[in-house]
Amino acid sequence: MTTNLFIGLMSGTSLDGVDGVLADFSQGAIRTIAAAFTPFPADLRDELMALQAASHNELEREALAANALALAYADCVRALLPSSPGKVAAVAVHGQTIRHRPELGFTRQTNNPALLAELTGLDVIADFRSRDVAAGGQGAPLVPAFHAAAFGAPGTARVVVNIGGIGNISVLHGDGRVTGFDTGPGNVLMDLWIARHQGRAYDEDGAWAASGTVHRPLLAALLDEPYFALPAPKSTGRDLFHAAWLDARLAAFHDVAPADVQATLTRLTAVTIARAIRDEGIAPDAVYICGGGAYNGALLRAISVELDGVMVASTAELNVAPNRVEALAFAWLGWRFTQREPGNLPAVTGARGLRVLGALYPA
Ligand SMILES: Nc1ncnc2c1ncn2[C@@H]1O[C@H](COP(=O)(O)OP(=O)(O)OP(=O)(O)O)[C@@H](O)[C@H]1O
Ligand SMILES: CC(=O)N[C@H]1[C@@H]2OC[C@@H](O2)[C@@H](O)[C@@H]1O[C@H](C)C(=O)O
């Protein structure tokens, strides 16, 4: 019997591991049944990081990394299956973005969906972005359609902000329109800086940033990046916001203390998100944050300050834990694929039209 039970798997630009959810989309509802997180083994994380830029023998190394990635995805599926009340219709898997160049006509989410189908015995739906790019779109962000379905309230203007490695906003206008784009760095630069100075993967609750002071001239230099002023549709990734990008801008600021740099990078994320929201010209009832950045108290406080007077909360207020939203979005996109319903929003990605997103690897 076919069910509306889907597993969604997301491994994003933070390169921390795989977020998975088991969800039920019966009768138009969006219900999370279980969630799991499978961290990447250190060697896989290192290799996926190395594959973000041109390097030696990368064709073979990408293929091997894709195989290892499929093993991590299969582990996450195995952690979820015991919670399933019935047969899972499909696993919808994002893959790992290693290159995102829509302006050149491609985006690459490395993956081995055939191996994942083999390992799980389940239908696997993969490669959600390339059809939108083929239709002239950015292929990203894709979550706005899901944000509208899950968090939209007719007549109410809301903004949903995903703060992963990269940040992206979904603007749910009161009249039903949905707009959105990538704002720029989410956690990626903060993660990089704390790893370099303290050997930690991220700044827990933003405590290190909170111990420092924002350096205004450095903030201005960072905000000078042309990406921030580009009109939508636009999307970005580690292709632009990487260590060399940061180091080039820090070169003139050698005397700034590391904690002050962290405070400034945290403020950069807050300012770019707040400006993006303000530039949409709406007065939202509330701004809801999801993604790992929702667990960074210093960042949330900075966003509140920048959006003076607007309520800032996490999507937990809308009954979805912030770290489950993206995986749930891909489960939903998988369900849309099986219904042959479009997953993209041309107003967001710039594609020529609505498209069914994904490709099926049968069980
Ligand atoms: N307790 C916490 N305190 C501060 N930051 C946190 C915390 N938990 C998670 N994060 C941040 O969230 C990041 C992971 O976020 P998430 O899983 O949403 O990103 P992603 O899905 O990989 O990225 P993207 O959405 O760009 O594809 C971590 O790298 C870290 O920077
Ligand atoms: C190319 C790519 O992988 N983009 C990711 C990345 O991470 C956040 C932001 O940049 C967003 O554009 C997208 O992910 C989410 C899930 C999206 O497509 O909506």
pLDDT tens-place string over residues 81-121? 999 999 999 999 999 999 999 999 999 999 999 999 999 99
Ligand with an atom nearest the CA of residue 52: 2
Token pair listed for 4:
């509306």
Going by pLDDT thresholds of 50, 70 and 90, the confidence category of residue 265 is very high
Q: What is the mean pLDDT of the chain?
A: 97
205 Cβ inside 6 Å of ligand 1: yes
Domain with CATH 3.30.420.40 in the chain: 5-140+324-361, 143-318
Going by pLDDT thresholds of 50, 70 and 90, the confidence category of residue 212 is very high
- CATH T-level fold of 143-318: Nucleotidyltransferase; domain 5 (3.30.420)
* 137 alpha carbon – ligand 1 mean position (Å): 26
Please give the C-alpha separations between residue 119 and each of 67, 77, 79, 95, 112, in angstroms, as whole numbers: 11, 10, 13, 16, 11
CATH placement of domain 5-140+324-361: 3.30.420.40
Average pLDDT over residues 155-174: 97
pLDDT number for residue 2: 82
- Give residue-wise pLDDT tens across range 218-233: 999 999 999 999 999 9
Average pLDDT over residues 306-329: 97
Cite the beta strand spans of 4-154 per DSSP E.
5-10, 17-24, 31-39, 90-93, 96-101, 106-110, 124-126
Average pLDDT over residues 200-225: 98
13 Cβ inside 6 Å of ligand 1: yes
Residue type, 245: W
* 86 alpha carbon – ligand 2 mean position (Å): 30
Report the percentage of the chain scoring pLDDT > 90: 98
145 Cβ inside 6 Å of ligand 2: no
The enclosing H or E element of 183 equals: strand 178-185
Does the pLDDT value for residue 309 go beyond 90? no
- Give residue-wise pLDDT tens across range 37-79: 999 999 999 999 999 999 999 999 999 999 999 999 999 999 9
